[in-house]
Structure 1
Amino acid sequence: MLSLALLLSLSMASPTVAVRCEPAPAPSADETRDSTLVALYDAGQPWTEFLGAARARRAQWLENAARPLAPADAVARARALPGRWRLLVVAVDSCSDSVNTIPFLAQLVAAVPQLDMRVISPRAGRALMEARRTPDGRAATPTVIVLDESGAEAGCWIERPAALQAIAMAAGAGGGTAAFAAQKASWYASDAGASTVAEVVGLLERAAAGTRGCDLGAGQTRQ
């Protein structure tokens, strides 16, 4: 008969095996989506790292990043938001819409303690872009997804401000033409990020109030 001391030594040396009597339930679609978004966010680049690595349109990235953030009222509204919020941004340095919007969102984030931001590439964020298309059906950069404190999607902002998207749609140039490219550059230079910041702050305010959906531009939303 084994002694008590020997039994104790064997139990301590044996690995513990966890036995599950019933299979674990499969995660819901929402749980899978949210965990994927959090994983992508955690793997994303901080803004300063993305900016430092930007090569295409580099001078414009640096210039816009250094411009003063104009809409003080939008910053004040963002600072009044309850909770914490994260912006998961799909962007690429060569994109003219990204370079004219994301630096200003980065300035907003830097000015508001409740906000954080990470940037991922279109390759990593392809499925996110495909699921959140522009009004004319394109997967586009930038795609900005708002995550709440729990990591759930609280809304998204797609490609460019609504006023500019409406101009593009009216001209049939959603994806860009030579004539629209010049008009777009002029519009962005005049706007200086104000519309982008105001629209994203509005999106955050609606999310904080419980209304969640995507701003697609050109006056269109998706719940």
Structure 2
Amino acid sequence: MTTVQTTTVDPSLLTTMNGGTAAKSSTQEAQDRFMTLLVTQMKNQDPLNPMDNAQVTSQLAQLSTVTGIDKLNTTVTSLSNSFLSAQNLQAANMIGHGVVAAGNKLGLSQSKGVYGVELAQGADKVDVTIKDASGAVVKKLSLGAMESGINALTWDGTNDQGAVAADGQYQIEISASVAGKAIDATALSFGMVSSVTSNAQGVKLNVANVGDIGLADVKKIY
């Protein structure tokens, strides 16, 4: 009759292997515990019923996979932090600069308003309607043909009666067409970058007359 020696295995080792709540150590500690448990199992295995080599190989492969994923997560986190730092630096350099982004707000100051139109394709007719805060039409502009892409425009502040409109906030509506068929046209607002905000959602530019926008939302920088 064969006598098999038994050894009590540290419960924390089993908890670690089973993914329990005690598995809170570093990757190296997890590897050390795994090897300790594996060696203990092999030392105390039944000589008449030894461990299956395939099982041992499978466990080692699983450990290698988990270790690789842990290292990958660490690398990705480091790259993410570096990217965020670079974004913060880039955004900070834009403070005091004027930018153009999608929006329908038009600020009039000293009888001058800057805005823009973005077209997916060239148009043979582009119309702009400028409204005041109450929604009343102040000015209608027929700009004729316009090329595709971003087109910078200005308003001299005069209304349809030829009088000078008061400085303040206005709204713009854009329509464009080719051979009488409407095409996509995006109104663009102009504003100065006053500050930068960084949070879990990323880096945001605080732009007067536009609001908070991401770096990717900027169409043009002045």
TM-score range, shorter chain: under 0.3
Q: TM-score, normalised by structure 1?
A: 0.28
Which structure is higher in helix share?
A: 1
Which structure is higher in strand share?
A: 2
